[in-house]
Chains A and B, each alone.
Chain A
């Protein structure tokens, strides 16, 4: 090979590299910085969706997109009220039989008209596919089609929150023809009745939706919505600051303070549905003694710890349910901070000299911070406490097996209903993996939670949950820690954005002015 050829080889290699670089760079800038692209709403969130097939996943990023692509039978408003969505009317024939009438002339994005058969197909598929959120409709026995618009849902047993569950994004109504046509890749080609139709998914980068002009409630305000996935909290905030994004979900506490100070940005904080708690293993000594559990509640300055750990973006918890959850009892007083009384209770329980124990947590910085603060406060009442930090998967496995003493966890009452917020955590049939990692067992609480679950009368349910919360509060299987706030922010030219406590926000009427 002579010098000329060699030079040619080198030049060619460089050219190939340059060509590789140029691939994909040919497209025009679609960045929606202020005023340039008013019709496109750019929404930044922290992670990519997993699938847009409601029966394949139950994760938050996917739910956020599916909320716009699909409709549900029922709709949960931003103040967590349940209204009709695809349903025009419904009535409870008995405690286990509901009759529904669909809105007429609702069209799927593929042109098919919504009918009772789609509803039947949806729920049968959800159960047959063992969808991650199939537990929401565990009470459902079958769907009977009466005619094109009327159908009956028959339950195996009475289930109070059933209608609420029909508003969850995982119960989105799919179209049989579209699902069959999509095959194994349906999750990437979703077809719903929602205000936006699916356009494009760039894995790890973005999902684009376009306005569905034939939407049954009228065309949405924005022409295009682009969900961008920006994993770093700080970068999401920067994207909003520079105008690359119009709306940012899940703003970090630090960034929130910065964004709030910028006049062109509207930072929005709302009460969420998440409860943070430190649980006791009640199957182990000394936590089987209610005096010890109450003593620890009294020994901890939860208000200060919450303020520090959440940087001010959470309210201290007084009971098990966040105030936003339906039937939450906000009149519970909370234990307060009283180390002297804590010592006295410990002495009564026979632990005047304290004891040795441990707090387990996964490597979540907020939980670790709580644990560190509590370690010191417990020391002051004589309790020597080690902190063990572990990976999430083994952490869940080992706390489910009951190997722990005390542990830090959170629970999101995603449906906004007290049943979801309490049953798994405090019912004695739910020990371990199902959610009751404190191994709390109170027959009266079991009875009340069962009553709240099967009753269809809201007032009966409210009474049952109020009493259950009071008992749980008195039995103190947890140290009630905090209810986290959800932080979101938009540019001030974004109109109509009202955040939803469950984290999947409706963008139907949101637009750039």
Chain B
């Protein structure tokens, strides 16, 4: 198992190198001169040229890329062209907000999605199943920005119970987390239901029932455990992508997260921030995936056995 984890961690290195290469290449060939952005539109050409040399922007592509990777490994993602602060610090200062929102959303999604999915599967074609599947379909189809606006309209303007935007209190968290959480819940519900439906038809479930086990034990201990692998995968994917910032939801609720930071950076052509942001995104996504893979082993002893 340790060997497995170690191998997965080592695999992160080529993944990150690949991501850096792609991001760096895209930004390298995007029009716009970072030196000019830093000095402003009115800067004389000589000063721009001087800064280009100082920043190493005149070096050939491979040297610039090598320097970028070298610095990134040491935790130096460069300085933002806009705020002039280290990119790592800029991202780090926004990460708690993103983490908080993602965790809350996933928590809502799990607490709603799994139970509803299980009940739907065990009571297939019942009224509960029909209704929850329709709601889940709505949840998947409803665009987040629209749902967010509607919630603001309802809870902030009409009932005046929740703040319409901002960050800092539990009240501020409820609507953005619910917006993302419900759409994630819909995905998890559907996945839980279909995965469970497949498992409950297996022979060993019939055997468990034949042994006279109570329905609760059959479902929770025998069926759910075997149905959990795809569900955990979906949860991991959702959590991973949320950590990259739920851009639209963050904008609607003025949530000061990484997603909004990245969008602003793209808009202002803040190259180091975009590069650093994407790199950080890739890293968190890989780590969450790794965590999911490790979790598999705990859920399914067969997987663990392969690595002994």
Residues of A at under 8 Å CB distance from B? 1, 3, 6, 9, 14, 17-18, 20-21, 23-25, 27-31, 47-48, 50-51, 56-58, 130, 132, 135, 185, 187-188, 202-206, 228-232, 234-235, 238-239, 241-242, 244, 393-394, 396-397, 433-434
Query: Is B75 an interface position by the 8 A CB rule?
Result: no
A393 to chain B: which residues have CB within 8 Å? 31-32, 269
Chain A residue numbers with a CB within 8 Å of B157 are 238, 241-242
Let me know if A244 and B41 touch, CB within 8 A: no
A242 touches B252 (CB 8 A): no
Provided the pairs A25-B173, A130-B47, A393-B269 are in contact, do residues A203 and B165 lie with their beta carbons within 8 angstroms? no
Which A residues lie within 8 Å of B104 (CB)? 17, 20-21
Q: Which residues of A contact B106 (CB under 8 A)?
A: 17
The interface residues of chain A lying within 8 Å CB-to-CB of B39 are 130, 132
Can you spell out 6 A-B residue pairs with CB atoms less than 8 angstroms apart?
Answer: A17-B107, A25-B173, A31-B166, A187-B84, A203-B93, A235-B254
Known: A1-B298, A17-B106. A50 touches B96 (CB 8 A): no
Q: Is B171 an interface residue (CB 8 A)?
A: yes
Query: For A203, what are the chain B residues with a Cβ–Cβ distance below 8 Å?
Result: 90, 93-94, 256, 261
A50→B82 contact, CB < 8 A: yes
Docked-complex contact A21 and B107, CB < 8 angstroms: yes
A354 to chain B, nearest CB (A): 33
Alpha-carbon gap, A427 to B82, bound state (A)? 30
Assess whether B170 is interfacial by the CB under 8 Å rule: yes
Question: Which of B31, B83, B107 is close to A187, meaning CB atoms less than 8 Å apart?
Answer: B83
Please determine whether B107 and A14 come into contact, CB atoms closer than 8 angstroms.
yes
Among all A-B residue pairs, the 3 with the closest Cβ atoms? A204-B256, A205-B256, A20-B103
The A-contacting residues of B in range 46-104, CB under 8 angstroms, are 47, 82-85, 90, 93-94, 96-97, 99-100, 103-104
Closest Cβ neighbor of B32 among chain A residues: A393
Chain A positions within 8 Å of B254 at CB level: 205, 228-232, 235
Decide if B164 is an interface residue (CB 8 Å cutoff). yes
Q: Are B256 and A27 in contact (CB under 8 A)?
A: no
B251 touches A202 (CB 8 A): no
Residue ID in chain A nearest B92 by CB atoms? A203
**CB distance B160 to A242 under 8 Å?**
yes
> Please, how many angstroms separate the alpha-carbon atoms of A234 and B39 in the complex?
33
- Residues of A near B93 (CB, < 8 A) are 203
Task: Please provide the chain B residues from 154 to 208 with a CB less than 8 Å away from any CB of chain A in the complex.
Answer: 156-157, 160, 163-171, 173, 177
When C-beta atoms are compared, the residue in chain A nearest to B80 turns out to be A50
Chain A residues with CB under 8 Å of B82's CB are: 50, 57
Question: Does the CB pair A25–B166 fall under 8 Å?
Answer: no
Chain B residues contacting A9 (CB-CB under 8 Å) are 298
Q: Which residues of B contact A21 (CB under 8 A)?
A: 100, 103-104, 107, 173, 177
Residues of B near A206 (CB, < 8 A) are: 166
Which residue of A235, A241, A396 is within 8 Å of B41 (Cβ)? A396
- Contact: A231 with B166, CB < 8 Å? no
Q: Is the CB of A397 within 8 A of B31?
A: yes
Give the shortest distance, in Å, between A47 (CB) and chain B (any CB): 8
CB distance from B119 to the nearest CB of A (A): 18
B158 → chain A, closest Cβ, in Å? 10
| Residues in chain B near residue A234, CB distance under 8 A | 149
**Known A229-B254, A434-B42; contact A235-B83, beta-carbon cutoff 8 A:** no
The answer to whether A231 touches B152, judged by C-beta atoms less than 8 angstroms apart, is no
Whether the pair A204, B42 counts as a contact (CB closer than 8 A) is no
- List of B residues within 8 angstroms of A48 by Cβ: 264
> Cβ of A31 and Cβ of B84 under 8 Å apart?
no
Interfacial chain A residues near B14, Cβ < 8 Å = none
Complex Cα distance, B270 from A57, in Å, reads 14
Inter-chain contacts of B173 with A (CB < 8 A): 21, 25
Give Cα A397 to B45, complex, Å. Answer: 13
> Which single member of A57, A188, A231, A238 contacts B156 (CB below 8 Å)?
A238
Distance in angstroms between the alpha carbons of A135 and B96 in the assembled complex: 39
Query: In the assembled complex, how far is the CB of residue A414 from the closest CB belonging to chain B, in whole angstroms?
Result: 13
Contact code string B139-162 (vs A, CB < 8 Å = 1, else 0): 000000000010010001100100
Q: CB distance A58 to B165 under 8 Å?
A: no
Partner of B168, one of A27, A188, A232, A238: A27
Asked if A235 meets B152 with Cβ closer than 8 Å, knowing A14-B107, A393-B31, the reply is: yes
| Contact assessment for A30 and B168 in the assembled complex, using a CB-CB cutoff below 8 Å | yes
B212 at the interface (CB under 8 A from A): no
Shortest Cβ gap from B231 to chain A (Å)? 12
Interface residues of B in 203-255 (CB under 8 A from A): 221, 251-254
Complexed CA–CA distance, A229 and B167 (Å): 10
- How far, in Å, is A132 (CB) from chain B's closest CB? 5
Q: Which residues of A contact B99 (CB under 8 A)?
A: 20
Contacts A6-B298, A29-B169, A230-B254 supplied; 4 other A-B pairs, CB < 8 Å: A51-B85, A130-B43, A231-B260, A238-B164
The answer to whether B256 touches A394 (Cβ under 8 A) is no
Which residues of chain A are within 8 angstroms of B110 by Cβ–Cβ distance?
14
Q: Which residues of A lie under 8 Å from residue B47 when comparing CB positions?
A: 130
Give, as a whole number of angstroms, the nearest-CB distance from B295 to chain A: 9
Question: Are A132 and B152 touching (Cβ within 8 A)?
Answer: no
Q: Give chain B nearest CB distance to A373 CB in angstroms.
A: 27
Are A31 and B163 in touch, CB under 8 angstroms? Answer: yes
Q: Which residues of B contact A187 (CB under 8 A)?
A: 83-85
Asked whether, in the complex, the Cβ of A204 is within 8 Å of the Cβ of B165, the reply is: no
Q: B269 — which chain A residues lie within 8 A by C-beta?
A: 393
B160: which A residues are within 8 A, CB to CB? Answer: 242
Option from A58, A185, A232, A397 in Cβ contact (under 8 Å) with B251: A232
Q: How many angstroms from the CA of A50 to the CA of B31 in the assembled complex? A: 23
A424 to B: closest C-beta gap in Å: 8
Q: Is B257 an interface residue (CB 8 A)?
A: yes
Contacts of A29 in B (CB 8 A): 169, 171
Residues of B within 8 A of A230 (CB): 165-166, 254
**Nearest opposing residue in chain A for B79, CB measure:** A184
Name the distance in Å between A269's Cβ and chain B's nearest Cβ.
24
C-alpha spacing A278/B276, complex, angstroms: 38
Q: Would A27 and B169 count as touching, CB distance under 8 A?
A: yes
The contact of B84 among A51, A130, A205, by CB within 8 Å, is A51
The smallest C-beta distance from A233 to any residue of chain B, in angstroms, reads 11
A244 adjacent to B166 (CB under 8 Å): yes
Give the shortest distance, in Å, between A440 (CB) and chain B (any CB).
Answer: 18
Contacts of B163 in A (CB 8 A): 31, 242, 244
Give B160 Cβ to nearest chain A Cβ, in Å: 6
Query: Is there an interface contact between A204 and B298, defined as CB atoms closer than 8 Å?
Result: no
Give the shortest distance, in Å, between A328 (CB) and chain B (any CB). 23
Q: How far is the CA of A31 from the CA of B167 in the complex (A)?
A: 10
Q: Could you say which residues of chain B place their CB within 8 Å of the CB of A57?
A: 82-84
Q: In the complex, A321→B284 CA distance in Å?
A: 52
Q: Given A130-B39, A130-B47, A204-B97, does the pair A235, B164 have CB atoms closer than 8 Å?
A: yes
Within the complex, the shortest CB–CB distance from B8 to chain A, in Å, comes to: 19
Residue of B nearest to A185 (CB): B85
Contacts of B149 in A (CB 8 A): 234
Q: Is the beta-carbon distance between A25 and B170 smaller than 8 angstroms? A: yes
Whether B83 pairs with A51 at a CB distance below 8 angstroms is yes
